[in-house]
């Protein structure tokens, strides 16, 4: 394995305080290789995208576009909302895809992980996200897929991810992402 620094942008699709997906992301950070420099792309403060903003320098839009442009890879950790991706995440995808011809997504690499309190693990959110990323020219890690069902049962009362089976799955996922980025 090489030890070149990797600049990874982390997108958490939930705005919820106490988000389970954020807990999963915290565990991923705790096991990430030393070479990973992870910076979160905050999405909570982004106004809903409108084409009318294309000519305007909106500071938070420029912030997320720059973060994506600078990243070697993007990690998406997201819930499913009504069988698709959360609106706040879609907003980020749209913002960074515009103005037309200046999308910062094309050529990027990404990995997708979903976590849900339900039994299907947010799989449809993950599949929808993959579909959108494909259209944006982002290459997405194919295997292993990671759709974590009943995520609340993998956490302890403090919200720490303690369940060994899920830990093992995430360790495999992180290793696969690292190898794929190299």
Ligand X SMILES: Cc1cc2nc3c(=O)[nH]c(=O)nc-3n(C[C@H](O)[C@H](O)[C@H](O)COP(=O)(O)O)c2cc1C
Three-state SS for the chain is CCCCCEEEEEEECCCCCCCHHHHHHHHHHHHCCCCEEEEECCCCCCCCCCHHHCCCCCHHHHHHHHHHHHCCEEEEEECCECCECCHHHHHHHHHCCCCCCCCCCCCCEEEEEEECCCCCCCHHHHHHHHHHHHHCCCEECCCCCCEECCHHHHECCCCCECCHHHHHHHHHHHHHHHHHHC
Neighbours of 85 (CB within 10 A): 27
Looking at 101-109, 110-118, 138-146, 168-176, which segment touches ligand X (CB under 6 A)? 110-118
Find the shortest distance in angstroms from Cβ 30 to ligand X. Answer: 17
Site for ligand X (CB under 6 A): which residue of 120, 150, 169, 180?
120
Q: Is 97 in the site for ligand X (CB under 6 A)?
A: no
Site size toward ligand X (CB under 6 A) is 15
Question: What's the rounded Cα separation, in Å, for the pair 72 and 53?
Answer: 27
Q: Is 87 in the site for ligand X (CB under 6 A)?
A: no
Q: Is 144 in the site for ligand X (CB under 6 A)?
A: no
**Of 90 and 108, which has the nearer Cβ to ligand X?**
90
Find the shortest distance in angstroms from Cβ 43 to ligand X. Answer: 13
Q: Is 81 in the site for ligand X (CB under 6 A)?
A: yes
Q: Is 116 in the site for ligand X (CB under 6 A)?
A: yes
Find the shortest distance in angstroms from Cβ 108 to ligand X. Answer: 23
Encoded tokens for 171: 């360790």
Q: Is 168 in the site for ligand X (CB under 6 A)?
A: no
Q: Is 117 in the site for ligand X (CB under 6 A)?
A: yes
Looking at 55-63, 112-120, 130-138, 164-172, which segment touches ligand X (CB under 6 A)? 112-120
Binding site for ligand X (CB under 6 A): 14, 16, 19-21, 79-83, 116-118, 120, 122
């Amino acid at each position: 394995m090489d030890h070149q620094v990797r600049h990874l942008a982390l997108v958490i699709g939930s705005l919820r305080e106490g988000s389970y997906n954020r807990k999963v992301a915290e565990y991923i950070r705790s096991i990430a290789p030393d070479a990973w420099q992870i910076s979160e792309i905050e999405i909570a403060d982004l106004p809903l995208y409108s084409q009318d903003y294309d000519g305007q320098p909106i500071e938070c839009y420029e912030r997320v576009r720059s973060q994506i442009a600078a990243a070697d890879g993007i990690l998406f950790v997201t819930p499913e909302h009504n069988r698709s991706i959360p609106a706040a995440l879609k907003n980020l995808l749209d913002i960074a895809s515009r103005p037309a011809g200046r999308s910062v997504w094309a050529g990027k690499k990404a990995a997708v992980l979903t976590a849900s309190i339900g039994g299907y693990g947010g799989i449809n959110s993950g599949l929808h996200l993959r579909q959108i990323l494909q259209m944006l020219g982002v290459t997405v890690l194919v295997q292993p897929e990671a759709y974590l069902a009943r995520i609340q049962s993998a956490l302890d009362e403090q919200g720490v991810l303690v369940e060994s089976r899920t830990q093992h799955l995430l360790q495999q996922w992180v290793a696969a992402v690292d190898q794929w980025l190299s």
